[in-house]
Amino acid sequence: MIRVYGISNCNNIRKTKAWLEEREAEYEFIDVRKHPMSAEELADVVDKVGLDVVLNKRGTTWRRLGMAGKDPGEQELFDLLLENQVLIKRPLIIKGEAVLVGYDEDAFEGFTE
């Protein structure tokens, strides 16, 4: 089963869900605002793809938290991401042990087979 993590009002999430539905792919959507990932789940994702891939430093939440221009350490960044999961780049897609981050239809093709 494909699990798609994100927030409901995100355009990339809407596009991802539409893409999956067009291909009749079975998936489960998890809104991280309502059902945040556990520290263990998030650590597993970060271990697989890297914190720099998962953390969205371009969004308004990053700026609102006053992080622009700062250089926090890995643990501080992980803790910030765990506490503010809207900072996760979207979509975050997990299928088995595989993790895909970001909207990329070409990557989706191989991922959903």
From the list 3, 7, 10, 53, the catalytic residue is 10
- 66 token code pair: 């006053």
Q: Which residues contact 36 (CB under 8 A, 6 or more apart)?
A: 82, 85
State yes or no: is 10 an active-site residue: yes
Active-site residue set: 10
